């Protein structure tokens, strides 16, 4: 059984429009303590991340405390929207969730984002079987993974979590089969079960 704890980055500095270089805001840096506290008792043996600065920095405190290197996987990066800044992000996002093939000329569609994030996830499963792993990620990237294993996760869910930073999603895998999904609000500790691991499934699999 492999436990993957995906951590959506803490609040970034929205004044920095360079996506890959966007640092955390002062609030975001402070909220990294919530991530560290959440992960401390999870027996994490490996840490992966998107290459984007805000994702790496959100896990930096925890990784340093545990003496774990942060392994960068480029496929975990956030969706590329376009070559420029999008003013009406809500309308753009809604259209992408309605049509997974929709993209702007310089950007990616959600189908492309989902495919490469699934590729990265499966690589982690191969490299860390039967381990507990933390992964630094992004709101849209993580949402497409949720949609892949729970097609009921759609635009309304994305809007619900859009401003929730940091945010955690716990996946349970048996081999490469997803057996459980939990969303965790790190501010309130509220857990939303999207797919529950049942004892009978675990016994049959093991």
Q: 60 near 44, Cβ under 8 Å?
A: no
Region 27-44 average pLDDT: 98
Q: What's the total number of domains in the chain?
A: 1
User: Which residues lie closer than 8 Å to 119 by C-beta, 6 or more apart?
Assistant: 75
Does the pLDDT value for residue 87 go beyond 80? no
Structure tokens at 151: 């097609």
Region 62-89 average pLDDT: 90
Which CATH number does the domain housing residue 160 bear? 3.40.50.1240
User: Which residues lie closer than 8 Å to 73 by C-beta, 6 or more apart?
Assistant: 48, 49, 50, 51, 120, 123, 124
Cα–Cα distance, 170 to 7 (Å, whole number): 9
pLDDT value of residue 196: 87
Domain that holds residue 78: 2-205
Cut 0.85: pTM above it: yes
pLDDT band (50, 70, 90) for residue 106: confident
| pLDDT tens for each residue of 121-175 | 999 999 999 999 999 999 999 999 999 999 999 999 999 999 999 999 999 999 9
**DSSP label at residue 122:** H
Q: 86 near 113, Cβ under 8 Å?
A: no
Angle at 180 between CA 74 and CA 51, to 5 degrees: 10
Structure tokens at 23: 């640092």
């Amino acid at each position: 059984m492999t436990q993957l704890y995906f951590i959506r980055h803490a609040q970034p500095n929205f004044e920095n429009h360079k996506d890959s270089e966007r640092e955390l805001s002062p609030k975001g840096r402070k909220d990294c303590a919530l991530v560290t506290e959440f992960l401390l008792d999870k027996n994490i043996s490996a840490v992966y991340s998107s290459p984007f600065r805000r994702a790496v920095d959100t896990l930096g405190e925890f990784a340093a405390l545990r003496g774990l290197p942060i392994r960068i996987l480029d496929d975990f990066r956030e969706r590329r929207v376009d070559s420029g800044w999008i003013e009406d992000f809500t309308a753009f996002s809604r259209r992408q969730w309605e049509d997974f093939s929709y993209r702007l000329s310089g950007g990616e569609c959600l189908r492309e984002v989902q495919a490469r994030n699934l590729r990265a996830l499966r690589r982690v499963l191969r490299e860390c079987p039967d381990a507990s792993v933390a992964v630094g990620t992004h709101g849209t990237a993580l949402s497409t993974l949720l949609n892949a294993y729970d097609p009921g996760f759609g635009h309304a869910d994305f809007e619900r979590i859009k401003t929730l930073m940091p945010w955690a999603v716990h996946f349970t895998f048996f081999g490469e089969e997803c057996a459980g999904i939990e969303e965790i609000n790190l501010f309130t500790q509220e857990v939303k079960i999207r797919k529950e691991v049942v004892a009978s499934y675990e016994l049959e699999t093991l």
